[in-house]
Amino acid sequence: MNADRFNPNDDTIAKDASTIEAAAGGPIDIAIVLGSGLSNALAAHADFTSITYDRLLGIPVAPLAGHAGAALIGTMHGKRVVAFAGRVHMYQGFSAAQVTVNVRLAHAAGAKTLIVTNAAGALNSAYRAGDLMLIDDHINLMGANPLTGARLDNPFTDMMHAYDPGLRGIAKDVAGSLDDERVREGVYVGLLGPSYETPAEARYLRGIGADAVGMSTVLETILARTFGMKVFGVSLITNVVGAPETTHAEVMHEANLAGPRLAAIIDGVIEKI
């Protein structure tokens, strides 16, 4: 029977996990999800073997520019790493289960830590394009949850410290040692998209406590916490919501510019964990 790329069973995920582990030379320690425009960011820090998603059996493939699709496998500071360069989003029509297959695969390959990145719009008026925001909590407004209908003994995942305070502390130290003064800490709200926010929505999101808004990450974090993985999340602020208009080109441009700073922080965190 052919594997179903859009509804992979555990055998398919296990096969993909062995493909990744074989390329890594053993079980994976750390999985990284690289958000929009960030696919190339880590290249300066490791020699990666690239396995394009079409060579994995269970990863859904998406067409949007800037979302290259490959698992980058390598060693950083003696730790085996897989970086997913490209993810699919619910706004493309994928389900919560499909957008979190990367996390399922990372877990199957042994990863105990998930580093999740994204491009996000600022709601906090103190933020500027090019800032990095260490995610200290999230609000899930995607209208979906990867645990819905999942066959789990206990789907009631605790989300108290979803973004690991220890990893965030390490990241703050790393940012300090890199003299990167544009690193913030804040709350990420995940929306379905793909339209950007109206001014009224932006006011509402700020009012409920969000500092940055995007269309990913929260579902991956939920599944990673269900698996007991530690999560470190970073948003790259690519635009300020409503100032005056948000375009996909602007988001990609800022992501490319700030990518190396984000990669340096990730590299420093990996060194210290």
Nearer residue to ligand HPA within complex by CB, 117 or 238: 238
Nearest approach, Cβ of residue 134 and ligand HPA (Å)? 17
State the maximum Cα–Cα separation within the chain, in Å, rounded to a whole number.
54
Q: What number of chain residues touch ligand HPA (CB under 6 A)?
A: 13
Q: Which residue from 48, 53, 127, 196 is in contact with ligand HPA, where contact means CB under 6 A?
A: 196
The residue among 263, 222, 199, 38 whose CA lies nearest residue 137 is 222
- CA geometry: angle 255, 233, 72, nearest 5 deg: 65
As to burial, measured by CB atoms within 10 angstroms (0-12 exposed, 13-18 middle, 19+ buried), residue 22 is: exposed
Nearer residue to ligand HPA within complex by CB, 19 or 140: 140
What letter would DSSP give residue 26? S
Is residue 197 involved in binding ligand HPA (CB under 6 A)?
yes
Nearer residue to ligand HPA within complex by CB, 196 or 232: 196
Nearer residue to ligand HPA within complex by CB, 221 or 238: 238
- Read off the tokens for 256: 């490319």
3-state DSSP call for residue 92?
Answer: helix
Q: Which residue from 251, 264, 266, 269 is in contact with ligand HPA, where contact means CB under 6 A?
A: 251
Residue nearest to ligand HPA (CB): 121
Q: What string marks each residue from 145 to 164 as x (binds ligand HPA by CB under 6 A) or -?
A: --------------------
Nearer residue to ligand HPA within complex by CB, 71 or 240: 240
Is residue 53 involved in binding ligand HPA (CB under 6 A)?
no
Is residue 213 involved in binding ligand HPA (CB under 6 A)?
yes
CB 157 within 8 A of CB 228: no
What letter would DSSP give residue 42? G
Is residue 214 involved in binding ligand HPA (CB under 6 A)?
yes
**Cβ count within 10 A of residue 20:** 25
- Read off the tokens for 50: 């690239």
Q: What string marks each residue from 110 to 139 as x (binds ligand HPA by CB under 6 A) or -?
A: ---------xxx------------------
Is residue 92 involved in binding ligand HPA (CB under 6 A)?
no
CA distance 206 to 200: 10
**How is 172-217 classified by DSSP, letter by letter?**
HHHHHHTT---EEEEEEEEE--SS---HHHHHHHHHTT-SEEESSS
Binding-site ranges for ligand HPA (CB under 6 A): 119-121, 196-197, 213-215, 238-239, 241, 246, 251
